[in-house]
Amino acid sequence: MNTIVIDGAAVVTVDPERHEFTGHVVVEGNRIVAVGPGLAPAYDGARVIDGQGCLVTPGFVNTHQHLYQWVTRGLAADATLFGWLTTLYPVWARISDESVHVAAQAALARLALTGCTTAADHHYLFPRGGGDLLAAEIAAAAEIGLRFHPARGSMDRGQKDGGLPPDSVVEDRDEILAATEAAIDRWHDPSPESMLQIVVAPCSPFSVSGDLMREAASLARRKRVRLHTHLAETTDETHWCRETFNCTPLEYAAELGWTGSDVWFAHGIHFDDAEIKRLGQTGTGVAHCPSSNARLGAGIARAADLRAAGSPVGLGVDGAASNEAGSLIEELRHALLFARARGGPQALGVRAALEMATLDGARILGRENDIGSLEPGKLADLAVWNLNTLAHAGISDPIAALVLGTPPPLKLLLVNGHPVVEHDTVTTLDEPALAAQVAKTQTRLLAGT
């Protein structure tokens, strides 16, 4: 069994007592076996990582993304959400398993370089003739080496039914439910050490019928998997729900069975006080995507209020076409800054931002017993950040340096005990070759060839 010892580093555990110290973390195989202050005991044959000047954190958990969008970045750069969607849907209607595989590899590699060890992806577009798109991104995650929670999304409400998506990318409800159940049966691994878990995830109220939402919730609970969808992202969505259903988006979702500790919503910007209280009481989670929300001018989620109410709030980079950076470490800083811009200087602290990226994200995915903190017995998903840089020198609190400063380079990223990033380089692929492939894929996709 391979042993890795990280010694002499600042360690932030995010354990129940929130221990922080200068010390060590020891990994054997895919498990953490020791965490504590001071130097580590000697381990015969261990690989020893010099942690001087570094910060060790739990690996970050990305709770919302659309990996396929990596090959459609930079388009509709100044549009609103609905304008952005109507511009991009015709392009996305041409995606294939080949383009999704390339996009997923690139987006997941970028996530790894920014501290992410577990990624949830919401894939809801399945053009006919595009091949097995879910299999393509699952293969990409295995190749990069990240823990993966793909959400089998869906849309059954096209333009002919008053929805936004082109009719060519929507599916029949029965077809969706059958494909989703087949994906769970084929891939979902519920074990504590799982690298792959499937989520049931109709896209949004304006692209999905109420019948599909209701039946998807029933399917997820019968199969004991989690539920995810977009909700309350824009004021346009709120107005549309009021005009169409005579209620708010959350009221509509709740009526269809979409609240509870097995549910999390992407964005959750436009909730009022009563709705935030309801989310907290039901343990319903929210994937906060501050950079994407700002890029599209959708607003600022009330992350601090949601957390105070008891709702688990994780972080997400969202689709790469609405957050071209695709950097999870940047979401910590933006979540903190936007919370303070909205609620004052003490609305969200640096440690709370780190918790959102780690343990809270793990809780949203139902993995808090396995990942999200550095504790003996937990899976070895961790990041070693190099703070020996000009940008971070002189910042005495390493967590403040990580969250408020320039994103630091990664000395090491372990996922399930395996090195995925070393010295700020992904070890599992050829980055320059993949970058060239991404550029070619986007050119072909935009040209329709």
Domain ranges of the chain: 3-59+373-426, 60-364
Is the pLDDT at 163 greater than 90, yes or no? no
| Interval 22-37 mean pLDDT | 98
Residue 407 has pLDDT above 90, yes or no: yes
| Cα distance between residue 7 and residue 313, in whole Å | 32
Question: How far is C-alpha 158 from the geometric centre of its chain's CA atoms?
Answer: 27
Rounded Cα gap, residues 88 and 91, in angstroms: 5
Count other C-beta atoms under 10 Å from residue 154's C-beta: 28
CB atoms under 10 Å from CB of 158, counted, come to 18
Residue range 63-86, pLDDT digits in tens: 999 999 999 999 999 988 888 888
What average pLDDT score do residues 100-107 get? 98
Predicted local confidence at residue 143, as pLDDT: 98
Q: How far is CA 326 from CA 29, 246, 262, 319, in A?
A: 30, 36, 26, 8
3-59+373-426 has CATH 3.40.50.740 classification? no
- Give me the pLDDT at residue 338, please: 97
- Of 148, 197, 142, 151, nearest in space to 176 by CA: 151
Helix (H, G, I), strand (E, B) or coil at 204: coil
Task: Check for a shared fold between 3-59+373-426 and 60-364.
Answer: no
Q: What is the mean pLDDT of residues 398-423?
A: 98
Residue 164 has pLDDT above 80, yes or no: no
pLDDT in tens, 309-323: 999 999 999 999 999
10 Å Cβ neighbour count for 19? Answer: 17
- Phi (first) and psi of residue 390, to 5 degrees: -60, -35
What percentage of residues in the chain have a pLDDT greater than 90? 93
CATH code matching the domain that covers 60-364, chosen among 3.20.20.140, 3.40.50.970, 3.90.600.10, 3.40.30.10: 3.20.20.140
Cα end-to-end distance, the chain, whole Å: 48
Average of pLDDT values for 195-221?
Answer: 96
Residue 372: DSSP 8-state:
S
- CB within 8 Å of 106: residues ≥ 6 apart: 70, 71, 434, 435, 438
DSSP H or E run through 149? strand 147-154
Q: 3-class DSSP state for residue 196?
A: strand
